[in-house]
Structure 1
Amino acid sequence: MSLLLVSLDITVLNVALPAMGRELGGGVSGMQWALDAYTLVLAALLMVAGSTADRLGRRRVFMTGLVVFSLGSLLCSLAPSQEALVAFRVVQAVGGSMLNPVAMSIITNTFTEPAERARAIGVWGAVVGLSMASGPLVGGLLVGSVGWRAVFWINLPVGLAALLLTLRFVPESRAPRARRFDPVGQLLVAVLFGSLTYAIIEAPHAPAARVVPVACVAAAALIGLLWHEPRRAEPLIDLRFFRSAPFSGATVIAVCAFSALSGFLFLSTLHLQEVRGLDPLHAGLWMLPMAVPTFVLAPLAGRIVADRGPRVPLLVAGTAMAAAGIVFAGFPGAGDAALVTGYALFGVGFGMVNAPITNTAVSGMPRAQAGVAAAVASTSRQLGATLGVAVTGAVLAHGLGPSSQAQTQAQATAMASRPAWWIVAGCGLAVLAVGALTTGRRAEATAARTADLLDHDKVAA
């Protein structure tokens, strides 16, 4: 239910973006910040939220997250301005950061047998498909009948139900030995993500004198993180994890796949409502060909990973996502059949990619490190979601800047979107290439060596 809460919020909000933009203003960058304020804060806090849950109790932190997320949703529905909406999305993200990492920690520690865990992650990931199926429809119906503010109301009953079920069924648990808090590492991660996202979103319309220093801050934060983390006994991010080819591959694939997803949803919303002129409900209906294969294939991908490993699902995912981007980029004026094909292809790709990411990230890791590895994978997902909206939105905004006066708004948006669709296709190709390179026997051998190194260091300590 926590995954449904978070993923439903994203899919519902995408359908509401044009209506929110018309009422609150802010243009393309305003819509970008409405999405990225959430995913950015979520990415920055996921690691510390997971370690806090290990220390204070997973159920306690999980329930706190449900309350804060629901409160943030209520505040978002009351937002009087674009700035207030962004601030309340931050409140939502603080609560959201306490949900899925804790849920994943429960799964990885409950289902200890690899094949069983892969199947469980597949079922868990199918909820994303459910949110894709229901989110655009529910969002379109609410926006068309009540208004965009209603899309935040649906989080309240789901949050309340999840809270009551947690009280009833989830026992309290803690890690035998919680990791120490790394305030410097946490600050550097937040500065890196925040400054990088700001520089990308504001680059098309802000002066260089304002963007370049922020980009330099992002570079300095990255250098500081690479210098600081290896010097801590218990770092926020153990850089030795990246000696494992499957773990490194899962991290890169997560960034690329979720960049493709967030960019795809962002561009689709504008294409359907601004270019095709559809109302929110019909725009939501058009996303069903994407939602159905995602829902059906996510648990199937989990079973394939359990039986045959992650290679086949990743290759299928990368190929399908790249093909979907090419359909939209190469045929901007294509008819309904091409549109359905593009959505279905992307649904196949995303349905196959989620289970391999988490399973590959934690495979071969010592059980004590599985939660941390899963948290890094979750952080990579959210970073990818942030960058996808930031980059595709920036490319779109840049293309809209010099558009001809003779063009209609729909024509200008369609032409400006084409380079952004190629970026989505490129992300799919990256999933394909990295999936091919970081799976197989040689890659698994690097994971085994990394696990041995981590176990040896733990024994020595």
Structure 2
Amino acid sequence: MKIKSSGLAPWSTLLVAGSAQFLVLLESTIITVAIPPLGAALGDGGWLAWVLSGYLLAFGALLLPGGVWADRTGRRRVFLAGLGAFAITSALCAIAPTIEALVAARVLQGASAGVLAASALGIVLTRYTEPRERAVALTVWSALGVIGAVVGSLIAGPLILFSGWPGVFWINVVAAAGLVPLALRVIPSSVAATGTLRVWPALVASAGTAAILAGLSITGRAGSGGIALAVVGAVLVVGVVLMQSRAASPILPVRLFRLPSYRIAASGLFLGNGLMIATMFASSRHLQDHHALSAATASLAVLPMALAALVIAFLADPLISRLTEAVVLRAAALSLVAGAGLLWAVSLVDAPWGWLIPGGVLIGAGLPASFVILNRRAFAQVDPVEAGAASGFTTMLTTIGGAVCVAVAALAAGLGGQAGAYGVLLVSSLVIAALSAVRGSAGSGSRRRPR
């Protein structure tokens, strides 16, 4: 990765905002390893699955309002508020006495994470506007997000071993306490945008999205009730999207989908994030439930995947400069297909758990490069004035991808065992590969902004 010779000072804002993104993505996967110990300590009571899905649902629900609030009331102010709330709700998770209390705290934690993530990306997009700087900034941003998600599963085992399941939440409190003074020092104040603060379309869209995901998650238990809830959610989302597509000053920048490059990139981010989180979820459950590994050993099993993601994250920018975006994206997509295919094949023959490691390595290698390029293409034409709303919208799509893929993978596992869950990963990777092969998906497409 090429950083200007003037040193790290110009990149301090990126490092602080990117660290917040790291924490948010870490928390989306660190819990996958902790769920079995959580169930043993607090019981299930029908709520255990919501320890994961509740966070993702609330995360997606607050991304859009968070982006709007950041644009309208000041990005640094909202960033600090989101970071403080994230620390407080993490502490509430750590001290939760019952599974119901933990789920409630996780929902609040996810809401604060949504506000934090949206404001952090808005800060990055408005701080780095020169094309080369923005490309480097989004490379680092994407890498930190992917590494955070992978490292979440890696460090969960040792934390649980030495401090019990609350350790996966206390780590956020410590990290946030260190980030607050740095944020006050390096993140510039921003002038609030003028205009009326109208967030109801975002809130309705978020509620509809939550209903869709909740319906998917309970379909196995509630049958037609879950399907009905998902249909109601879909009606809400479609209605708001149609209204916003005709609005003069929409909160949901759905007009971005008129750009083929954005449409393809956003679809890839949706599936890529889903593949990442669902891989962590499925692998952790497979290792602990089927192969009876401890949480610490399960964490060590994903170490090669984390190392592969780390190496490729740092090599992504020079590889893109040397080989072009199109070549690197297609190679990354093929790596994802190979990795998901190997996991699926291993589950079919019930091979020893060690055979899962190569599949994880291939997925870990493919994710950072994919995210780097897709994020570049998605935000290449975003106007800084609407950076918060656009970042919230796009990050909401990627978060929904994670929640949807986890819900579908869990449903598929219930119907077809572990092979069903890995089959969902394989299908997602194949679609990403197809998108990477579409001509005109690169930034060389139309340069006109959607009107």
**Is the 8 Å Cα contact of residues 289 and 343 (structure 1) preserved in structure 2?**
yes
Offset at residue 153 of structure 1 (A)? 0.7
> Aligned partners of 2:444 and 2:47: how far apart in 1?
44
What's the CA shift string for 1:106-158, capped at 9, x where partnerless? Answer: 22222222232112222233323543564334310122233212211111110
Partner of 2:444 in structure 1?
A: 444
1:14 to 9, 14, 32: 32
Q: CA 1:88–1:440 in structure 2 vs 1: closer, same or farther (change >3 Å)? A: closer
Partner of 2:135 in structure 1?
A: 118
Partner of 1:381 in structure 2?
A: 398
Offset at residue 180 of structure 1 (A)? 4.3
The one-letter amino acid of 2:421's match is: A
> Aligned partners of 2:146 and 2:206: how far apart in 1?
29
1:298 equivalent to 2:319? Answer: no
> Aligned partners of 2:334 and 2:357: how far apart in 1?
17
> Aligned partners of 1:115 and 1:80: how far apart in 2?
49
Q: CA 1:157–1:164 in structure 2 vs 1: closer, same or farther (change >3 Å)? A: same
1:188 to 204, 207, 219: 204
> Aligned partners of 1:306 and 1:44: how far apart in 2?
36
Q: CA 1:370–1:307 in structure 2 vs 1: closer, same or farther (change >3 Å)? A: farther
The one-letter amino acid of 1:360's match is: R
Offset at residue 70 of structure 1 (A)? 0.6
What's the CA shift string for 1:292-343, capped at 9, x where partnerless? Answer: 1111212332444566653233212221122211111112222455322111
> Aligned partners of 1:204 and 1:417: how far apart in 2?
16
List aligned pairs for 1:353-432, cutoff 5 A. Answer: 353-399=370-416, 416-432=417-433
SS of equivalent residue, structure 1 residue 173: coil
> Aligned partners of 2:324 and 2:44: how far apart in 1?
45
List aligned pairs for 1:251-290, cutoff 5 A. Answer: 251-290=266-305
Offset at residue 232 of structure 1 (A)? 2.2
Offset at residue 370 of structure 1 (A)? 4.3
> Aligned partners of 2:432 and 2:296: how far apart in 1?
32
> Aligned partners of 1:103 and 1:191: how far apart in 2?
23
> Aligned partners of 2:321 and 2:258: how far apart in 1?
23
SS of equivalent residue, structure 1 residue 99: helix
> Aligned partners of 1:309 and 1:371: how far apart in 2?
29
Q: CA 1:133–1:96 in structure 2 vs 1: closer, same or farther (change >3 Å)? A: closer
The one-letter amino acid of 2:83's match is: L
**Is the 8 Å Cα contact of residues 71 and 388 (structure 2) preserved in structure 1?**
no
Gaps of 5+ in 1: 400-415, 455-461
Q: How many correspondences in the alignment?
A: 431
List aligned pairs for 1:304-319, cutoff 5 A. Answer: 304-305=319-320, 310-319=325-334
> Aligned partners of 2:434 and 2:119: how far apart in 1?
31
1:352 equivalent to 2:369? Answer: yes
**Is the 8 Å Cα contact of residues 311 and 439 (structure 1) preserved in structure 2?**
no
Offset at residue 396 of structure 1 (A)? 1.9
Partner of 1:238 in structure 2?
A: 253
Q: CA 1:261–1:151 in structure 2 vs 1: closer, same or farther (change >3 Å)? A: same
**Is the 8 Å Cα contact of residues 245 and 438 (structure 1) preserved in structure 2?**
no
The one-letter amino acid of 1:445's match is: G
What's the CA shift string for 1:158-181, capped at 9, x where partnerless? Answer: 010011111222221135x35643
Pairwise CA RMSD of aligned residues? 2.2
**Is the 8 Å Cα contact of residues 315 and 436 (structure 1) preserved in structure 2?**
yes
The one-letter amino acid of 2:369's match is: M
> Aligned partners of 1:171 and 1:63: how far apart in 2?
12
1:80 equivalent to 2:81? Answer: no
The one-letter amino acid of 1:38's match is: Y
The one-letter amino acid of 1:320's match is: S
1:200 equivalent to 2:216? Answer: yes
The one-letter amino acid of 1:5's match is: L
1:138 to 150, 155, 160: 155
1:40 equivalent to 2:41? Answer: no
Offset at residue 221 of structure 1 (A)? 0.8
> Aligned partners of 1:306 and 1:368: how far apart in 2?
29
> Aligned partners of 1:159 and 1:211: how far apart in 2?
37
> Aligned partners of 1:156 and 1:222: how far apart in 2?
35
1:161 to 150, 172, 178: 178
Partner of 1:407 in structure 2?
A: none
**Is the 8 Å Cα contact of residues 153 and 280 (structure 2) preserved in structure 1?**
no
Offset at residue 383 of structure 1 (A)? 0.7
Deviates more, 1:163-172 or 1:183-192: 183-192
Q: CA 1:375–1:351 in structure 2 vs 1: closer, same or farther (change >3 Å)? A: same
Partner of 2:10 in structure 1?
A: none
What's the CA shift string for 1:330-374, capped at 9, x where partnerless? Answer: 122224553221111010111212111221111134443444333
Identity of aligned residues (%): 29
> Aligned partners of 1:37 and 1:179: how far apart in 2?
33
**Is the 8 Å Cα contact of residues 125 and 299 (structure 1) preserved in structure 2?**
no
Q: TM-score, normalised by structure 1?
A: 0.87
Deviates more, 1:43-52 or 1:130-139: 130-139
> Aligned partners of 2:106 and 2:223: how far apart in 1?
26
SS of equivalent residue, structure 2 residue 313: helix
**Is the 8 Å Cα contact of residues 21 and 145 (structure 2) preserved in structure 1?**
yes
1:152 equivalent to 2:169? Answer: yes
**Is the 8 Å Cα contact of residues 325 and 373 (structure 2) preserved in structure 1?**
yes
> Aligned partners of 1:19 and 1:295: how far apart in 2?
28
> Aligned partners of 1:136 and 1:339: how far apart in 2?
15
1:218 to 226, 233, 243: 233
